[in-house]
């Protein structure tokens, strides 16, 4: 009995990883929703300022004096700090960004409190919709080089915010229907967050044993069934359910625990395809097509084949292909788009075929192994975003490219070990479901190693 009391009472001054610290932080979030709301509206104000003001200024003013500094600061903050920071935070801690800080989440929830409150229609229940939207937007924003244009950033990022506001005005009563069913970023975040070391853990026995009647339902913004919550997939980590019925607590877990304990019925074919073709293929392609030998050869071949007609030498429409038009002409634009599409599919197909070979043709097992690649490809994605930060620094006269190989080596080593350890645990658990497992882990390690090498030696953007 004495021993039990020692465990139950919180220790003072223990490690930050102590269970009671995580639980206390979750409870703090639950108690301080008023402060969180103020923080969220401050972020909305800064976000709108940095997004709208540079885009509203005439081009000549944007490029001069204080406005030039503001536009560069906004670019550096959005793409150089925010994007890599969000990716890493998702991978390590879960979707706290979504629940606590995201301006789109704040706007859609606010609109939903004052909107029409309609039921979520059946056509929004398409689990692959966020990933599909994310792919289309990523492809488009990289084609038009939205990063370097204030008006294009406003069009894409601001357009997404407007869509979240409209979704809130129409659907749900004070909920985040946008975040749960539509948000394109959530398509990727929901994959990364499953590696996180923090999650809201629900004790079903304590929940059911709590004295009734239930003290009001949980105000879960993305409309989750908290009692049955098992995954970080859609949890926004807002903390509102913390302590509910003495059964919900923010808790630590082993990195990648959720992936290593996947059951066959939890593995989805469309999601495995999303990991291969979007998280790995598309996000590698958009970060590294420019400057690749693939792109140079394609461009040379196109110029040699069709480059001498007036039509192909016309400047590409700026609104559609601003990156290409900045370089040259329609052929340049075509080569850029073909490079992105080609690299996306080549990488997705090669890694998918490698996993199928490793799993000795067992599709379900190959799909499960695709999930084990999330840490490696998530770190690859974060590295691609950091490389963009380095290019922003280089544009401002600070060259830090020398750190890149070491940064990649550290990231890829961590990602490789992390992915292999998940695959190892997953295979151990799946021994009962799948008979033919000899050599699966060594072959998976070879596939993951080749992927890590692709990130390590990826071309640096020209």
Q: Which residues bind ligand SF4 (CB under 6 A)?
A: 99, 200, 218, 220-222, 224, 226, 229, 235-241
The nearest distance, CB 360 to ligand SF4, in angstroms, is 38
Q: Which is nearer to ligand SF4, 200 or 252 (CB)?
A: 200
Nearer to ligand SF4, 232 or 377 (CB): 232
Which residue's CB is nearer to ligand SF4, number 23 or number 408? Answer: 23
Quote the least distance from Cβ 112 to ligand SF4, whole Å: 14
CB of 231 to ligand SF4, least distance (A): 10
Q: Give the burial class of 40: count Cβ atoms within 10 A of its Cβ; 0-12 exposed, 13-18 middle, 19 or more buried.
A: buried
The rounded distance, in Å, linking the Cα atoms of 333 and 153 is 20
The backbone torsions φ and ψ at residue 202, rounded to the nearest 5 degrees and listed phi first, read -110, 125
Please state whether the peptide bond connecting residue 396 to the residue before it is cis, i.e. omega within 30 degrees of 0: no
Q: Which is nearer to ligand SF4, 199 or 323 (CB)?
A: 199
Phi-psi map region of 436: left, alpha, beta (phi>0 left; psi -120 to 50 alpha): beta
Work out the angle at residue 9's Cα, subtended by the Cα atoms of residues 6 and 10, and round it to the nearest 5 degrees. Answer: 115
- State the Rg of the chain over Cα: 24
Between 131 and 198, CB nearer to ligand SF4: 198
Q: DSSP character for 317?
A: P
> Rounded to whole angstroms, how far apart are CA atoms 452 and 450?
5
Write down the least CB distance from residue 381 to ligand SF4, Å: 23
Tokens at 207, concatenated:
């929940």
Nearer of residues 200 and 294 to ligand SF4, judged by Cβ? 200
CB of 100 to ligand SF4, least distance (A): 10
Q: In the bound complex, what is the minimum distance in angstroms from residue 195's beta carbon to ligand SF4?
A: 17
Other Cβ atoms less than 10 A from the Cβ of 33: the count is 14
Picking from 239, 245, 214, the residue whose alpha carbon sits closest to that of residue 27 is: 239
């Amino acid at each position: 009995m004495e021993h039990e009391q020692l465990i139950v009472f919180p220790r003072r001054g223990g490690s930050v990883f102590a269970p009671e610290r995580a639980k206390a932080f979750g409870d703090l979030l639950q108690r301080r929703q008023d402060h969180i709301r103020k923080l969220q509206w401050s972020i909305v104000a800064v976000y709108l300022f940095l997004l709208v003001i540079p885009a509203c200024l005439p081009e000549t003013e944007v490029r001069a004096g204080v406005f030039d500094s503001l536009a560069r600061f906004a670019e550096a903050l959005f793409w150089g700090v925010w994007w890599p920071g969000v990716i890493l935070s998702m991978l390590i801690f879960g979707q706290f960004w979504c629940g606590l800080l995201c301006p789109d989440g704040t706007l859609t929830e606010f609109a939903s409190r004052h909107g029409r409150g309609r039921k979520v229609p059946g056509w929004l229940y398409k689990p692959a919709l966020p990933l599909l939207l994310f792919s289309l937007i990523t492809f488009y924003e990289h084609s038009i080089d939205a990063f370097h244009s204030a008006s294009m950033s406003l069009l894409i990022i601001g357009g997404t915010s407007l869509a979240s506001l409209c979704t809130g005005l129409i659907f749900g009563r004070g909920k985040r229907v946008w975040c749960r069913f539509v948000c394109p970023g959530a398509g990727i975040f929901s994959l990364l967050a499953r590696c996180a070391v923090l999650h809201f853990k629900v004790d079903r026995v304590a929940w059911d044993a709590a004295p009734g009647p239930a003290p009001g339902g949980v105000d879960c913004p993305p409309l989750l069934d908290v009692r049955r919550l098992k995954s970080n997939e859609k949890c926004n980590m807002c903390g509102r359910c913390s302590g509910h019925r003495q059964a919900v607590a923010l808790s630590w877990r082993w990195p990648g625990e959720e992936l290593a304990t996947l059951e066959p019925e939890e593995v989805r074919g469309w999601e495995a395809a999303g990991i291969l073709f979007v998280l790995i293929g598309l996000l590698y392609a958009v970060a590294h097509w420019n400057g690749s030998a693939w792109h140079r050869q394609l461009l040379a071949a196109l110029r040699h084949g069709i480059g001498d007609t007036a039509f192909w030498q016309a400047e590409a429409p700026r609104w559609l292909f601003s990156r290409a038009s900045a370089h040259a002409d329609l052929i340049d634009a075509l080569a850029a788009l073909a490079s992105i599409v080609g690299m996306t599919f080549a990488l997705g197909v090669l890694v998918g075929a490698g996993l199928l070979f490793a799993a000795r043709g067992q599709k379900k097992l190959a799909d499960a192994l695709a999930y084990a690649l999330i840490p490696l490809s998530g770190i690859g994605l974060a590295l691609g975003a950091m490389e963009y930060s380095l290019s922003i620094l280089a544009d401002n006269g600070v060259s830090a490219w020398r750190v890149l190989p070491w940064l990649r080596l550290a990231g890829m080593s961590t990602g490789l070990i992390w992915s292999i350890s998940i695959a190892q645990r997953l295979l151990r658990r799946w021994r009962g479901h799948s008979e033919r497992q000899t050599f699966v882990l060594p072959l998976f390690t070879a596939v993951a190693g080749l992927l890590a090498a692709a990130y390590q030696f990826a071309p640096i953007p020209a």
